[in-house]
Amino acid sequence: MKFKYTLLASSFLIMISSQSYADFRGESTDYSQAQQIAYTFTPGTYALNSVNTILCMVDQVNAQDMLNKGVYTALINFNRCGSDIPWYRDRSQSQQLVIVNSERDSNTTPQQIEAWIPNWSLSEDSLVLIKAFATITQEPTEAEPLQDFTLRWDLYAQDADGIVGEKVGGGFIKAIPSSERDDGQMLVEYFESTPIDDEIFTSAAKILKDPKGRNGLAITMESWDSDNENEREYYGLVWDEDITSNRVKVQNGNNFANNISGLNGDLTCLARDVVSTAVLEYGVYEKATGNEVEVNTGFPFIYNNKHGYIGYWGIWTEDGVVPTENEEVFKIDYVTGNAIKTPVKIETVENRDEENNLQQPYIVSNESGEAITFEAPKKFTLEFDSKSMSRNPSKDDEYDGDTFFLEYSGNGNLWGFPFKDLKVLNFEFPFPAVLKDGVELTKSGDDEPKYVVKAWELVQILDTVDAKDCSELNLVDLPGKIPNNVDTTLLDNRLDIPSYEGLLPAVINGKLQ
């Protein structure tokens, strides 16, 4: 019984670009073959995006192909799923170890998945153990993309030595398919409570929608609670393509609301077909050949059954502890099928080695003792003209004539653009100047442009339009109330972490090894 990852919660807002773009040197160049992905973001969808992120992570453990094979380990790339704030999406690896046991007694019983995620970092100084339990009752179909699916997780405090303490948070997702409801709609509930530093972040949603996402109704909530204040935001959303195409009516409120009728904020009409576009990631290509410009940013590694990543900007490990010189460290190649381990050495030094180009006090070398060099970002200049270069010329015309000094560190990370605040509903966020595909860049030291850009990932922010465009959309209460705590009737994982010493990952980023 296979879990099928689907953007069930906010699919009504997703606008995947299908436009094709001219290439520079034929259909087979890197430029012309590069894929583009577009996301849509608006206040009120934070909780919906959280649901999608969690489901994406569940999908990457590939519990179906490991059914009844005992305990196994999986590596998931959290950045593949994105974050709830779209500016922080990243194509680089952010590997997280997951211990999984997927079981099913017979063809007539639900599939049950137990999972443990040790050393999950909530903040710089806070680690937790996540224990999760999921059930899948029926095989997903196109008509019912999620079927009966439940997921409950609990967070337990964990110190740097792996000692597990008390429960500090948790959450759940529960889906009831349309086949089990009289109105033919799918109902999804979600809630989570997570401690972050000195605050508690809480997010919740109730979504009622047809399985294909053409119409639906939702109420969402997010809050930050501390000793001194409580900030809670609610949003009600309604859309119906059969009544009013490409329009979403939204109402916000900062009071304590059990349902949509309790919201006290203004009504806003947002347009799916009138958007402002920001680019999250650009690829940079050689103008003459269309070949992608690659920058050696770093690599993942494993040591003492722990995982990390090291590169130009420094080092990351799953528990925040840097391996010592006496520990065996292996560079891991995740691309070539089965994981290939290559011995490397990571040394801590008092003074940074300039030749090693590592922006923290470490030297990385191969088995022969040769230093592994990480490249500095490549620098470019651009004389900006909004009419010929911008995806949003009316918003970027204030930068006409300015010189942009840009840096590219590979993996889609091109930065140096000016920002300004863009307001949607009651939310303001920094909005960068953006480039069309094919805009030419001049590398520092060159006399002419020899490079071009192409967007890899974009976010589309729905623009506000006249309220009368949404006059036929009705915000009404959903069945029941928005969740305000974890559903304790759902099965939970109460088992200690099983032994996984010596188990190489059986699944990496959703693929069997």
Tokens 């443990």 belong to which residue? 116
Q: Under DSSP, is residue 397 helix (H, G, I), strand (E, B) or coil?
A: helix
pLDDT score recorded for residue 12: 42
CB of 343 within 8 A of CB of 367?
yes
Cβ-based neighbours of 236, under 8 Å, separated by 6 or more: 44, 217, 218, 219, 250, 251, 252, 253, 260, 263, 475
CB of 159 within 8 A of CB of 187?
no
pLDDT score recorded for residue 84: 41
> What are the E-state strand segments in 334-392?
340-348, 362-366, 378-383
pLDDT score recorded for residue 145: 59
CB of 205 within 8 A of CB of 224?
no
pLDDT score recorded for residue 230: 63
- The one-digit pLDDT tens for each residue of the chain (513 residues) are 444 444 444 444 433 333 333 446 567 889 988 878 777 777 787 787 788 788 888 888 988 889 999 999 998 877 667 544 333 333 444 678 999 999 998 888 889 999 999 988 776 567 899 999 999 887 666 666 566 789 999 999 988 788 889 999 999 999 888 777 788 788 999 999 998 877 888 999 999 988 777 889 999 998 887 554 567 889 999 999 999 999 999 998 877 789 999 998 889 999 988 888 889 889 999 999 999 998 887 788 888 878 888 887 778 888 888 888 778 889 877 543 345 788 988 887 665 545 444 555 677 888 888 888 888 889 999 999 999 999 999 889 999 999 999 999 887 889 999 988 877 776 777 889 999 999 999 999 999 999 999 998 888 888 889 999 999 999 999 999 999 999 999 999 999 999 988 888 899 888 888
pLDDT score recorded for residue 308: 86
Rounded Cα distance between 381 and 379, Å, is 7
Query: Six-digit token pair at 1?
Result: 């019984």
Work out the end-to-end distance of the chain between its first and last CA atoms, rounded to an integer number of angstroms.
Answer: 20
CB of 440 within 8 A of CB of 452?
yes
> Where is 458: in which H helix or E strand?
strand 451-465
Q: Which neighbouring-strand residues pair with 278? A: 459
Q: How many residues does the chain have?
A: 513
The count of C-alpha atoms lying within 13 angstroms of the C-alpha of 418, restricted to the half-sphere facing its C-beta, is 14
Cβ-based neighbours of 438, under 8 Å, separated by 6 or more: 21, 22, 24, 452, 453, 454
pLDDT score recorded for residue 272: 84
pLDDT score recorded for residue 380: 97
Q: Secondary structure of the chain: what % helix, strand, coil (to 5)?
A: 10, 45, 45
CB of 456 within 8 A of CB of 35?
yes
- For strands 244-253 and 267-286, give the pairing: antiparallel
pLDDT score recorded for residue 15: 35
pLDDT score recorded for residue 89: 35
